């Protein structure tokens, strides 16, 4: 509902339903009659392909997206449009979000304290992703020139930010609060997140920033792989510049040495101690 109540007066709203089994289609159809937005019901093709389909339809100067269970502050679009108009050489603006649970209860405030900071490729590789998708607004022209979102990825925000900055496009984190982001069971698991960041990083393997990227993004990855995917763990250790520590590599090496069945029994017995 936050998308239809934005204070900015000129918005082309396109709503996609990825074949939700929860009756969302009927609810959206009723809202469409009241608010007159474009509604597209489709098979579940995933987030990134859906965003690219929206991009092909979009006619606006700026492009922003929101998941149905997240909440935009009502002046998000208005504030970001004003910023982009005042800074014509910036291609993407982002900010902070509040994290809430499935019931709307506050979990935490993601405040990166980066008011007005321009995010560079070096910063995004060496310090992590400060471009949180639900807070982003991007120039449509720049996004089209980029070829849209990378459909080989599960995530939309980090790959796009890295690609933009690697090519010299400018991104600013304003430090302002824009969105309430809901954590739920459909968010990426730790394993999916590690696998995805490995895939994202491969694009920039030859850059001088990659070793720092690997040390940050793969922290704990070896330990996790060693318990279930031993060949992948060995490959990671051989090919990636991961940080050596007892908590990750030390415990991971012990896991590699133990038979899988024994490791499962030990996990059950010492639940919370062995991860």
8-12, 97-101, 251-255: range with highest mean pLDDT: 8-12
Cβ atoms of residues 48 and 23 within 8 Å: no
Asked if residues 98 and 147 have their Cβ atoms less than 8 Å apart, the reply is: no
50, pLDDT greater than 80: yes
DSSP 219: T
Q: What is the value of pTM for the model shown? A: 0.87
Residue 98 phi, psi dihedral angles, 5° rounding: -100, 135
Predicted pLDDT of residue 15: 93
Predicted confidence (pLDDT) at residue 267 exceeds the cutoff of 90: no
Cα–Cα dist 11/66, whole Å? 13
Q: Is the pLDDT of residue 23 over 80?
A: no
Q: What is the CATH number of domain 14-182?
A: 3.90.550.10
Best-predicted range by mean pLDDT (33-37, 64-68, 100-104, 169-173): 169-173
3-state secondary structure of 99: strand
> 40 with 14: CB under 8 angstroms?
yes
Contact 35/29 with Cβ under 8 angstroms?
Answer: no
The pLDDT value recorded for residue 18 is 86
- State which of 146-150, 183-187, 245-249 shows the largest mean pLDDT: 146-150
- Per the prediction, the chain carries an average pLDDT of 87
pLDDT digits (tens, 9 = 90+) for 113-158: 566 789 999 999 998 888 999 999 999 999 999 999 999 999 899 9
Neighbours of 216 (CB within 10 A): 16
Q: What is the pLDDT of residue 55?
A: 97
Whether pLDDT at 264 is above 80: no
How far is the CA of 144 from the CAs of 9, 92, 138, 141, 160, in angstroms? 24, 13, 10, 5, 12
pLDDT of residue 273: 47
Q: What is the dihedral of CA 161, 165, 169, 174, to 10 degrees?
A: 60
Count Cα atoms within 13 angstroms, Cβ side, for 45: 15
3-state secondary structure of 100: strand
Give the domain ranges of the chain.
14-182, 190-269
């Amino acid at each position: 509902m936050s998308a239809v109540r934005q204070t900015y007066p000129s918005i082309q709203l396109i709503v996609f339903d990825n074949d939700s089994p929860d009756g969302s289609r009927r609810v959206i159809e009723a809202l469409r009659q009241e608010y007159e937005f474009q509604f597209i019901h489709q098979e579940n093709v995933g987030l990134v392909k859906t965003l690219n389909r929206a991009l092909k339809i979009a006619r606006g100067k700026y492009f922003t997206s929101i998941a149905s269970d997240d909440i935009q502050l009502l002046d998000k679009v208005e504030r970001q449009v004003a910023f982009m108009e005042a800074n014509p050489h910036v291609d993407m603006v982002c900010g902070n979000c509040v994290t809430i649970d499935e019931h709307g209860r506050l979990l935490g405030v993601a405040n990166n304290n980066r008011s007005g900071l321009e995010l560079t490729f070096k910063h995004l590789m060496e310090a992590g992703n400060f471009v949180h998708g639900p807070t982003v607004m991007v120039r449509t022209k720049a996004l089209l020139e980029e070829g849209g979102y990378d459909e080989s990825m599960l995530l939309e925000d980090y790959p796009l930010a890295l690609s933009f900055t690697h090519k010299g496009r400018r991104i600013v984190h304003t430090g302002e609060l824009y969105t309430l982001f809901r954590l739920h069971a459909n968010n990426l698991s730790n394993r999916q997140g590690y696998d995805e960041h490995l895939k994202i990083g491969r694009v920039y393997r030859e850059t001088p920033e990659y070793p720092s990227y690997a040390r940050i993004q793969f922290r704990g990855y070896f330990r996790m792989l060693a318990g279930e995917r031993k060949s992948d763990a060995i490959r990671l250790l051989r090919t990636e510049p991961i940080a050596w520590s007892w908590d990750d590599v030390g415990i991971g090496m012990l896991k590699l040495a133990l038979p899988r069945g024994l490791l499962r029994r030990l996990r059950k017995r010492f639940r919370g101690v062995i991860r």
